[in-house]
């Protein structure tokens, strides 16, 4: 009934971070069928109907009893206010690691579905897959399609088959090699400390006893502009992720004092699912991601395409060397060496993903993925800026979650607008021949 958390998963326990999937809908929703669909999915994934408990000197997942397992919540409310509420509503400490809410606007034709999952048991890819699976079950129920099969390893209600942690699926490694990798990473972090973005002095929170609340500033491109940005990235021999990272780095540099180059850090999550042998399906509810941190000298005059080429080449080299596996192995050392993941900008990248497949008469107006957490530490005075990047159905979206105790809405809107201007410039500039990039 218990499944110990591995050291990597345990890091998420203190963070209390969560993935917030939301889907704005137009049409008729059968709340009973949606509740049954959510029940079917949580039955197939024991991690979704579990809580975190103390286990010796660590933590473990423990199955909730039938009366405690999560069920679909429904209510009528203003949808914009409901989204803000759910974004700021933490999962209950010691309670279920998932929550599903259906909010309907007065009139009953517009709705918001919100699915929240603790990052201890999910990552971006698995949370998106989970969201779409809920709607697959819903569609099957309301159209009399054959129901989707549950996970083969779900087990029984009394003896669940817990998924293995990704740290147990890594290829074998020599302990001396891992130790040498850790030493080198710590040395590089000390040699090149990165600058962070100072909190906005005009922030709306941050007073004594005021920890603010989470807001999200959002950037979106339509399908045409998204396609043009992808095309320019291909022509330049870089990824869209690298273009976005370059835009963020240049925008962050303009928030720093002084002239000349400054050392900035770019943290890029790296998916491990497709790089394991055999690959791990996105339906398996475990966090399966590591990170790549690189430092770059960025000045007011840095060429954005040159920055993008550097980011792109270094990430590719990191993966080609198999360093992503070493990075996962040293993750438990982060609490003792936080500089290992300290960056000026954090740029996630889910890539191009499908939205939910819905029955006739129901349409997804908007789909969003936003990370949230409990502590933003306004007392630190500065922090990284996070950008959550995903393309649902061919439309690029960048979400900038932040605490109002750290950055004001006006500050984040200005940051977002500069990033947007940079991406539009990328999408429209003429082709340039790729340059040789130093990947050291």
Cα gap 189→256, rounded to integer Å: 20
The model's pTM = 0.92
Looking at per-residue pLDDT, the higher value among 143 and 152 belongs to 143
Region 251-265: mean pLDDT is 94
Task: Respond yes or no on whether the N-terminal peptide bond of residue 30 is cis (omega within 30° of 0).
Answer: no
Region 89-101: mean pLDDT is 96
Region 205-231: mean pLDDT is 83
Looking at per-residue pLDDT, the higher value among 201 and 249 belongs to 249
Looking at per-residue pLDDT, the higher value among 206 and 268 belongs to 268
3-state SS of the chain is CEEECCHHHHHHHHHCCEEEEEEEEEECCCHHHHHHHHHHHHHHCHHHHEEEEEECCEEEEEECCCCCCCCCEEEECCHHHHHHHHHCCCCCCCCCCEEEEEEECCCCCEEEEEEEEECCCCCHHHHHHHHHHHHHHHHHHHHCCCCCCCCCCCECCCCECCCCCHHHCCCCCCHHHHHHHHHHHHHHHHHCCCCCEECCCCCCCCCCCCCCCEEEEEEECCHHHHHHHHHHHHHHCCCHHHHHHHHHHHHHHCCCCCCCCEEEEEEEEEECHHHCCCCCCCCCCCCCEEEEEEEEEECCCCCHHHHHHHHHHHHHHHHHCCHHHHHHHHHHHCCCCHHHHCCCEEECCCCEECCCCCCCCEEEEEEEEEEECCCCCHHHCEECEEEEEEEECCEEEEEEEEECCCCCHHHHHHHHHHHHHHHHHHHHCCCCCCCCCCCC
Q: Where in the chain is the domain with CATH 3.30.559.30?
A: 168-428
The domain made up of 168-428 has a fold known as Chloramphenicol Acetyltransferase (3.30.559)
pLDDT value at residue 203: 62
Specify the CATH number of the domain 2-165.
3.30.559.10
> Does the pLDDT value for residue 434 go beyond 90?
no
Q: Where in the chain is the domain with CATH 3.30.559.10?
A: 2-165
pLDDT in tens, 332-391: 999 999 999 999 999 998 888 999 999 999 999 999 999 998 888 888 999 999 999 999
């Amino acid at each position: 009934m218990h499944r110990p958390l591995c050291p990597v998963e345990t890091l998420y326990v203190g963070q209390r971070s969560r993935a917030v999937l939301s889907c704005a809908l137009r049409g008729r929703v059968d709340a009973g069928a949606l509740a049954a669909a959510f029940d079917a999915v949580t039955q197939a994934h024991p991690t979704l109907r579990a809580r975190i408990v103390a286990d010796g000197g660590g933590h473990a997942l423990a199955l909730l009893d039938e009366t405690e397992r999560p069920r679909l919540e429904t209510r009528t409310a203003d949808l914009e206010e409901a989204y803000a509420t759910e974004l700021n509503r933490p999962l209950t400490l010691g309670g279920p690691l998932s929550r599903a809410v259906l909010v309907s606007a007065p009139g009953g034709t517009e709705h918001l579905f919100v699915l929240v999952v603790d990052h201890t048991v999910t990552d971006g890819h698995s949370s998106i897959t989970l969201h779409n699976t809920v709607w697959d079950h819903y569609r099957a129920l309301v159209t009399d399609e054959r129901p989707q099969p549950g996970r083969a390893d779900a087990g029984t209600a009394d003896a669940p088959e817990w998924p293995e942690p990704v740290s147990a699926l890594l290829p074998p490694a020599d302990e001396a090699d891992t130790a040498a990798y850790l030493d080198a990473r710590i040395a590089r972090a000390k040699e090149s400390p990165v600058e962070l973005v100072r909190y906005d002095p005009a922030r709306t929170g941050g007073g004594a006893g005021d920890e603010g609340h989470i807001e999200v500033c959002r950037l979106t491109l339509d399908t045409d502009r998204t396609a043009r940005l992808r095309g320019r990235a291909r022509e330049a021999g870089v990824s869209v992720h690298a273009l976005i990272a370059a835009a963020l780095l240049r925008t962050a540099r303009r928030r720093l004092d002084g002239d000349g180059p400054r050392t900035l850090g770019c943290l890029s999550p790296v998916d491990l699912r497709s790089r394991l042998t055999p690959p791990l399906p996105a339906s398996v509810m475990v966090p399966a991601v590591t990170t790549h941190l690189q430092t770059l000298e960025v000045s007011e005059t840095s060429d954005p395409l040159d920055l993008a080429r550097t980011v792109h080449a270094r990430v590719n080299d990191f993966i080609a060397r198999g360093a992503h596996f070493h990075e996962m192995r040293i993750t438990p050392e982060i609490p003792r060496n936080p500089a290992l993941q300290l960056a000026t900008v954090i740029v996630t990248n889910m890539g191009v993903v499908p939205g939910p497949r819905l029955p006739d008469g129901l349409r997804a107006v908007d789909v969003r993925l936003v990370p949230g957490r409990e502590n933003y530490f306004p007392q630190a005075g500065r922090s990284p800026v996070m950008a959550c990047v995903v393309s649902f159905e061919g439309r690029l979206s960048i979400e900038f979650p932040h605490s109002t105790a750290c950055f004001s809405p006006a500050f984040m809107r200005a940051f977002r607008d500069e990033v947007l201007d940079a991406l539009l410039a990328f999408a429209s500039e003429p082709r340039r021949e790729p340059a040789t990039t130093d990947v050291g």
